Structures are given as structure tokens and as C-alpha cells.
């Protein structure tokens, strides 16, 4: 693949990363990308309410976190051995894990949060439901401003030979969500189209 014999998933992943880094995507795509299932996933530029929701969640979580742990918006998370590179909208991880010139290591991430994009919701509801438990991320929270819902997935187990989340609770905006010992209030989160805050 791409000019040589490739024998491992990690080698394929490294070649995909190198190739993606040189792409110049047309608008409305951004230069952000993810890698999953031996494929490059191009990402759209995030909209204002999308970024607003991520910022609001980070500012809710940070005061609850112990010293040395941060709620960070943006940043790649990778598991090279699995050939996966994802870019959650928000991660909770030790500050020490950000001391890198590359992606954050997946094993450092305690919580991954995705704000659903109107353009590709299946990436959050399908692809990342598969990838995040495989990467060993203990908690995955989906915030969906399209319909004012949220979904908390946690407890990684093996189902049908693959890592999967064993627990799931659905919420609506206005609910209080407990996630990994933290509390998220959803009443003020923005909705797409101007509904909500």
C-alpha cells in the first residue's frame, strides 16, 4: 500500500497519517482528519454552537477535576497499534499526557465527549462507539444538539469477541448526567437552529 509492502496495522496507520497530513481538502472540510478502519475520515469545520457546547462542558468539568487532570477541547487521541486516530471534541486526561509533540495516548483518556455534527452523526453514533472501547476509553459521552439528547456509554467488556461498552443511559437536555464521578448539567447547552441557550 502506498509504494511498499505493509505487514502490520500500525504500519498501515503510519502511512495513512503521513498521507493525510499532506491533503489539502476543499471547503467546507477542514485540515482535521481521523483514521479508523484503515480509512481517512475528513472532518468538517465545526460550527459556532458546536464549539460553544464543548467550551461550556469543559468549563463545567474543570472545577470538579483533581489537580493534574484537565478537561481539554481539541487534540488528537491515538492507539497506533489499533490503527486508530480520533479527535474528540473534549477529553478528560492527566495534564502530563499533553506533554507530547504528537497525539495524546488513548490510555491516558478518562472521558471522551463528542458533540454531534449535523453533517455526519454516524461517526459519533457508530464509528466511535466501536473505536473508543477498543482504545480503552472508560467513558464516552455523546451530546446531540440536533435533538437535545445525550448518551453516556461506559464499562468496557468483550462482546462477540470485540471490546464494547456494557452500559448506556440516554438523557435529554435539562437532565443532570453523572459521568465517572463528575456531574454535567445540560439545561443550558445550545441546540442547533437557535433552540436552547
The model's pLDDT over 126-155, given as tens digits with 9 standing for 90+, comes to 999 999 999 999 999 999 999 999 999 999
Q: What is the largest CA-CA distance in the chain?
A: 53
The pLDDT of residue 23: 76
| Calpha distance 119→27 (Å, rounded) | 13
Nearest to 114 by CA among 102, 125, 103, 130: 125
**At 42, phi and psi to the nearest 5?**
-80, 145
| Calpha distance 192→195 (Å, rounded) | 6
The pLDDT of residue 196: 47
What pTM does this model have? 0.88
Q: How far is CA 121 from CA 4, 16, 127, 142, 182, in A?
A: 35, 23, 10, 10, 25
User: Tens digit of pLDDT per residue, the chain (197 long)?
Assistant: 445 555 688 998 889 888 888 777 665 556 678 889 888 887 776 778 999 999 999 999 999 999 999 999 989 999 999 999 999 999 999 999 999 999 999 999 999 999 998 888 999 999 999 999 999 999 999 999 999 999 999 999 999 999 999 999 999 999 999 999 999 999 999 999 865 44
Cell of 18: 503521513
| Calpha distance 121→142 (Å, rounded) | 10
State which fold the 47-194 domain adopts.
Answer: tt1808, chain A (3.90.1570)
The pLDDT of residue 29: 58
| Calpha distance 122→113 (Å, rounded) | 15
The pLDDT of residue 43: 73
The pLDDT of residue 119: 80
Cell of 23: 491533503
The pLDDT of residue 32: 79
Nearest to 82 by CA among 24, 35, 150, 49: 35
Amino acid at each position: 500500500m502506498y509504494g511498499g509492502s505493509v505487514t502490520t496495522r500500525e504500519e498501515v496507520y503510519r502511512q495513512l497519517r503521513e498521507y493525510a497530513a499532506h491533503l489539502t481538502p476543499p471547503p467546507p472540510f477542514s485540515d482535521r482528519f481521523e483514521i479508523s478502519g484503515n480509512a481517512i475520515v475528513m472532518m468538517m469545520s465545526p460550527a459556532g454552537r458546536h464549539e460553544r457546547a464543548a467550551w461550556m462542558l469543559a468549563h463545567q468539568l474543570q472545577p470538579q477535576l483533581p489537580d493534574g487532570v484537565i478537561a481539554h477541547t481539541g487534540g488528537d487521541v491515538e492507539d497506533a497499534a489499533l490503527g486508530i486516530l480520533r479527535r474528540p471534541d473534549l477529553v478528560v486526561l492527566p495534564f502530563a499526557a499533553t506533554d507530547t509533540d504528537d497525539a495524546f495516548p488513548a490510555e491516558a483518556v478518562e472521558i471522551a465527549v463528542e458533540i454531534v455534527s449535523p453533517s455526519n452523526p454516524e461517526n459519533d453514533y457508530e464509528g466511535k462507539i466501536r473505536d473508543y472501547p477498543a482504545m480503552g476509553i472508560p467513558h464516552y459521552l455523546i451530546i446531540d444538539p440536533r435533538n437535545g439528547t445525550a448518551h453516556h456509554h461506559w464499562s468496557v467488556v468483550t462482546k462477540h469477541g470485540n471490546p464494547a461498552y456494557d452500559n448506556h443511559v440516554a438523557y435529554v437536555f435539562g437532565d443532570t448526567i453523572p459521568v465517572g464521578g463528575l456531574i454535567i448539567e445540560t439545561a443550558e447547552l445550545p441546540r442547533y437552529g437557535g433552540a436552547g441557550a
